[in-house]
Amino acid sequence: MPETLLSVENLSTVFDIGGGNPFAKALELKAVSDVSFTLEAGETLGIVGESGCGKSTLGRSILRLIEPTHGRVVWQGKSLTDLSVGEMRKARRDLSIIFQDPVASLDPRMNVGKIIEEPLKVAEPSLGRKARRERIEKVMEEVGLAPEMINRYPHEFSGGQAQRIGIARAIVTEPKLIVCDEPVSALDVSIQAQIVNLLKALKERMGLTLIFISHDLSVVRLVSDRILVLYLGRVVEIGPRREVFANPGHPYSKALLAAAPIPDPAIARSREKTPLKGDPPSPINPPSGCAFRTRCPIARDVCAEKLPPLVDVGRGHRAACLFTGDVRADEAIAG
C-alpha cells in the first residue's frame, strides 16, 4: 500500500490587510480556506485555477514559507505547523520549492555554485567543501548544465537555463517533496516542454513527490496523477487526472477545460464554447454560499444559502457542487 507522505488538514491562510491603522476597519483576505488533501509517495498532485485563486499561497503555506492561520500540515506523521524554527529547519532538507520567475529567484550577486550551495549549508553543515563541490557539479549535470558554468552569474543565462539552476538548487539536498510553483509559466513554449520533461525524468530517477501548481491545464495534464481545482481559495474538485479531465464534476472545472487551447484547429472550432462570465469575486468579501455562484451557468437560489461540501462522484473523484450529476445542470452547462 502506498505511503502517505503529506496530509493537509483544514488549512486556511488569512491575511490582515488593515494596514496597521487602529482607526480603520479591520479587513481580512481569505487566500486559502479549509483545504484538505493527502499526497502519497511518488505522486504528483496538480493544483489548477485562475490567477489569484490561492494556488501559490497554498503551496507556500504547506512549506511554512507563509504561516497558515488555521489547520495542520502533517509530514510523515509529524505536524509541520507545530514544529519550532530549529525543528522546521531540519525538516526542510526533505522539502523544497521551485519558483515561478527563474531569474528573479536567483541572487544576482552570487554565482551558480554559491546559489546551489546555499541549501546544502543549511541542510548538511558538516559536509566538507570538496564534497559540496562534487554534489553541486553532479546536480548541474543532472539538470543539463555543464559544470564549467559553476562560476557564472545569473545574468549570463537564458530563462530556461536560469530555471535549471533553480531546479538544481531544489534537488541538491535530495528532498522527498518539491512544490513546483508555476515553474514554466514565464518560459517560451518550446522551453516549457524541456523543463516539464526534465522534472518528469528527475521524479522517476530520484523518487520525488511533486505538487505542481499551474494555470495551464495542458501542462498539468502531462505531469499530474491527480488534479486539485481551487476557486477563491477553496477546493471545488479533486480526483484522478483522467476522471477530472473526462468527467469534470464542477461547473468551474468544466469552464476551465472548455477554455484550454487544443492543438488541432478542427477540433477547437467544433468544440462547445462555455467561457467564464465576469471576474472572480473579491476574497475580502466573498459571496455567501457557493463562491462560484456569481459566475455559474446553473446557479439557483439555494446556492447563495449553502456552502457545498466535497461529495464523492466515484472512483476517488470528489466535487463541491450541489447539483453534481444533475442532468438538467449538465444540459445547462452544455447549452
Q: How far apart are CA 126 and CA 128, in angstroms?
A: 6
Q: How far apart are CA 238 and CA 46, in angstroms?
A: 10
On whether the CB atoms of residues 221 and 262 are closer than 8 A, the answer is: no
Q: Are residues 219 and 262 in the same domain?
A: no
Q: How far apart are CA 230 and CA 211, in angstroms?
A: 14
Q: Are residues 146 and 272 in the same domain?
A: no
Q: Are residues 295 and 150 in the same domain?
A: no
Residue 331: predicted pLDDT: 43
Residue 261: predicted pLDDT: 66
More confident residue, 297 or 327: 297
The enclosing domain of 103 has a CATH number of: 3.40.50.300
Find the mean pLDDT for residues 158-177.
Answer: 95
Q: How far apart are CA 224 and CA 217, in angstroms?
A: 10
Find the mean pLDDT for residues 192-214.
Answer: 95
Amino acid at 181: D
Confidence of residue 277 (pLDDT cuts 50, 70, 90): confident
Number of residues that this document lists for the chain: 335
- Rg over alpha carbons for the chain, rounded to the nearest Å, is 21
Find the mean pLDDT for residues 9-22.
Answer: 83
Q: How far apart are CA 301 and CA 99, in angstroms?
A: 41
Residue 258: predicted pLDDT: 84
Find the mean pLDDT for residues 159-176.
Answer: 95
Residue 327: predicted pLDDT: 40
Is residue 119 in some structural domain?
Answer: yes
Q: Are residues 74 and 189 in the same domain?
A: yes
- Above pLDDT 70, what percent of the chain? 90
Q: Are residues 151 and 294 in the same domain?
A: no
What does residue 59 show for φ and ψ, rounded to 5 degrees? -60, -40
More confident residue, 188 or 136: 136
More confident residue, 24 or 83: 83
Structural domain that includes position 74? 4-20+27-224
Burial class (CB in 10 A: 0-12, 13-18, 19+), 93: middle
Q: Are residues 41 and 88 in the same domain?
A: yes
Find the mean pLDDT for residues 228-232.
Answer: 96
Residue 41: predicted pLDDT: 95
pLDDT at position 271 over 60 = no
Residue 328: predicted pLDDT: 43
pLDDT at position 48 over 90 = yes
pLDDT digits 0-9 by tens, 51-61:
889 999 999 99
Find the mean pLDDT for residues 163-191.
Answer: 94
Q: Are residues 171 and 268 in the same domain?
A: no
Amino acid at 69: T
Find the mean pLDDT for residues 215-225.
Answer: 91
pLDDT digits 0-9 by tens, 244-270:
999 999 999 999 988 776 655 555 455
pLDDT at position 111 over 90 = yes
Query: 83, 90, 98: which is closest to 123 by C-alpha?
Result: 90
Residue 240: predicted pLDDT: 96
pLDDT at position 190 over 90 = no
C-alpha cell at 241: 487526472
| Domain count of the fold of the chain | 2
Find the mean pLDDT for residues 132-151.
Answer: 95
Q: What is the mean pLDDT of the chain?
A: 89
To which residue does cell 516549457 refer? 192
- Give the up-direction half-sphere exposure of residue 271: CA atoms within 13 A in the CB hemisphere: 17
Q: Are residues 45 and 136 in the same domain?
A: yes
The structure's pTM equals 0.90
Residues 6+ apart with CB under 8 A from 144: 164, 198
pLDDT at position 3 over 90 = no
More confident residue, 273 or 42: 42
Residue 98: predicted pLDDT: 96
Q: Are residues 125 and 268 in the same domain?
A: no
Amino acid at 163: Q
Confidence of residue 291 (pLDDT cuts 50, 70, 90): very high
pLDDT at position 132 over 70 = yes
Q: Are residues 200 and 255 in the same domain?
A: no
DSSP assignments along 84-125, one per residue:
-HHHHHHHGGGEEEE-S-TTTTS-TTS-HHHHHHHHHHHH-T
